Structure 1
């Protein structure tokens, strides 16, 4: 049987579609390919976007801002300026791991000498997004930072 060029094109398209569908089903059914959303309740989170931008602007407008640094020996150090009264700072720090949400964790802000230290043993190598939501003197702030752990 001789195959003309029209039949060849149809066969090529059918093989290509089969190839693509195989990979789509493989990724959806195999548990090693994690395809979770970044945020669980995406639309609920998005509805508070303007409020979040206002808190980021509040943090940006500060004369002296808190600093977030990473050191191999200590871990992540969040230092507030000495002008802030440590006992009046409330809030929490979310360490978010973009590659795997299983490593995400939240910690309350409890300052010692105007600083909060997150120990090295809680962090694995790679990128971490830090979202620090805090409040001082009745005003809300949001500080976002990206660090890389070696």
Structure 2
């Protein structure tokens, strides 16, 4: 049986659509592929956006900002000496964009104006560090990206 070029094009389109539908079905039904949102309650999070921007601006306006440095011991967050250890309250969220199972939250408890997150808690790759803290009634928020080797 001889197939003309019109029939060949229709068969090619049919095979291509079947191929695409197979992959769409595979990704949606297989639990290996994670399709979660970045934030669980997206719209609730979005409603507090202006407050978040004000806290980011407060952190940006500081003359002496806290530093976030990755060292061999782990992630070191150092606050300037202008801040008093007892007056700083807040937490540090380490967010792993590739897998939310590795995300964790740590309360800020300073020793000599430093907080150390041990190396054993961090796996290799990219981490988004969101640090929210409050000192003397002013709220701050800083966001940085670090890479763990």
TM over 0.5: yes
Paired with 1:78 and 1:43, the residues of 2 have a C-alpha distance of 31
Structure 2 counterpart of 1:33: 33
Residue 108 (structure 1) aligns with: 107
| SS of alignment partner, residue 3 of structure 2 | coil
Q: Residue 55 of structure 2 aligns with which residue?
A: 55
2:19 corresponding residue in structure 1: 19
1:95 corresponds in structure 2 to 94
Structure 1 residue 5 displacement after superposition:
2.2
The alignment of Structure 1 onto Structure 2 pairs a total of residues equal to 149
1:125 maps to: 124
Where in structure 2 are the equivalents of 1:61-100 lying within 5 Å?
61-72=61-72, 74-100=73-99
TM-score (norm 2): 0.96
Match of 1:113, SS state, is: coil
Deviates more, 1:14-23 or 1:31-40: 31-40
CA distance in 2, matches of 1:44, 1:66: 29
- Unaligned 5+ segments in structure 1 are none
TM-score by length of 1: 0.96
Superposition deviation, residue 3 in structure 1? 2.4
Deviation at 1:69, TM superposition (A): 0.3
CA distance in 2, matches of 1:39, 1:7: 48
Question: What CA distance in whole angstroms lies between the structure 2 residues aligned with 1:86 and 1:19?
Answer: 60
